[in-house]
Amino acid sequence: MKYDWKKQEKELYGTKKKAELVTVPVQKFLTIQGEGNPNNEDFSARVGVLYPVAWSIKMGFKKFYKAHLELQSEFDYSEFAIFPLEGIWSTKNTKDITDKESFEYKIMLRQPDWITQEMFETAIAAVAKKAPNDLLTKLSLETIEDGKCVQILHHGSFDDEPASFLKLDQFATEQGLKRRSFDHREIYLNDARKTAPEKRRTILRYQVE
């Protein structure tokens, strides 16, 4: 059976264009950090190194599942769909949030809970053997818990996100909630490289208390 985040986690990935309160559980991610303008080649290179490893993890788990019949009862799924790209964003210049050169980010692809550090390291080694890349040493398998958050679906250009964040801020205030930090999370529901800016769908989310 295939685990599909689109079907099985609609509360986290199927949000509508209306602010809402969600509780995000502990999740595992394949991550890489960076800084600077996301329109630069360095950002694209970091995104690009995530996917080969994610696919290697996916295929490695599928082979592992088939090869260990005695362990299959421990897993609910034999394979899984690749999760959407996500990013945690901040800035060194809080006085001008439009200053893209000051951005700091952690770009990531979520992994199922049953993916282990050993599976991650095996995937890194396999990708490095086929296509050596210095950025592979920058990747990590991390566990992150966002907890209580507010989120909204932003439809349109990344440059127009402030309007959606204003809606989030208003919703949080109405609910008596306070933003925990300047950081925020973005979840990209379509490929920005292949999608016109006005058609992009991005979940915007930040932690509250």
Q: Is the pLDDT of residue 30 over 90?
A: yes
Q: Confidence band (pLDDT; 50, 70, 90) for 134?
A: very high
pTM: 0.94
Contacts (Cβ under 8 Å, ≥6 apart) of 33? 104, 105, 106, 107, 138
According to the model, what pLDDT value does residue 95 have?
84
DSSP notation for the chain: -EE-HHHH-HHHH---SS-EEEEEEEEEEEEEEEES-TTSHHHHHHHHHHHHHHHHHHHHHHHHHHH-GGGGGG-S-SEEPPPPEEEEEEES-TT-TT-GGGEEEEEEEEE-TT--HHHHHHHHHHHHHHS--GGGGG-EEEEEEEEEEEEEEEES-GGGHHHHHHHHHHHHHHTT--B--S-EEEEESS-TTTS-GGG-EEEEEEEB-
Q: Which of 161, 55, 63 is nearest to 109 (CA)?
A: 55
Q: Is the pLDDT of residue 17 over 90?
A: no
> Mean of the per-residue pLDDT values for the chain?
94
Q: In whole angstroms, give the CA distance from residue 94 to residue 35.
A: 15
According to the model, what pLDDT value does residue 67 have?
82
pLDDT, tens only, 138-158: 999 999 999 999 999 999 999
